[in-house]
Amino acid sequence: MPIDCLFCKIVAGEIPVEFVYESDTVVAFRDINPQAPTHVLVIPREHISTINDLSVEDEVLVGSLYTAAREIAVAEGIADAGYRTVMNCNEGAGQSVFHIHLHVLGGRPMNWPPG
Ligand code: AMP
């Protein structure tokens, strides 16, 4: 685990956060600065810095981020109305925490294109 990775510390329980979903491979918790009525982050327990660091061995793990998102959307009551999943890659796209995470946003209309 990288010494200064915020999300690794959350996975390890060093920073207390309530998980809204957890499995053997991923956990999910509410974003500290929510951009929508529902704003949950789904992250792998394993440290992977960016999408650019993914390998074919991670394909099942990445799929599990999405199946977690689906379950969270149902639990949050936003599945039918619709929700957005976003994973930013590197600073130019707005990534600020370098441990991959899938944003799950819903509960309000979403605009397109994103900013
Ligand atoms: P990104 O900008 O795509 O890297 O997203 C990082 C997200 O992590 C932002 O939406 C932050 O609000 C969120 N965040 C940062 N620190 C925490 C924390 N301690 N608990 C929950 N969410 C956090």
Q: How far is the CA of 81 from the centre of ligand 1 (A)?
A: 24
3-state SS assignment for residue 42 = strand
Q: Alpha carbon of 9 to those of 6, 48, 56, 76, 79: distances in Å? A: 5, 14, 26, 25, 30
Q: Give tens-digit pLDDT for 68-105.
A: 999 999 999 999 999 999 999 999 999 999 999 999 99
pTM exceeds 0.95, yes or no: yes
Structural domains of the chain in order of their starting residue, each with its CATH number: 6-106 (3.30.428.10)
Please report which helix (H) or strand (E) contains residue 62, including its range: helix 59-76
Interatomic CA distance for residues 33 and 50, integer angstroms: 21
The minimum-distance atom of ligand 1 relative to the CA of 35 is: 10
Catalytic one of 39, 99, 101, 103: 101
Q: Give tens-digit pLDDT for 27-70.
A: 999 999 999 999 999 999 999 999 999 999 999 999 999 999 99
The minimum-distance atom of ligand 1 relative to the CA of 31 is: 22
Nearest CA to ligand 1 atom 16: 32
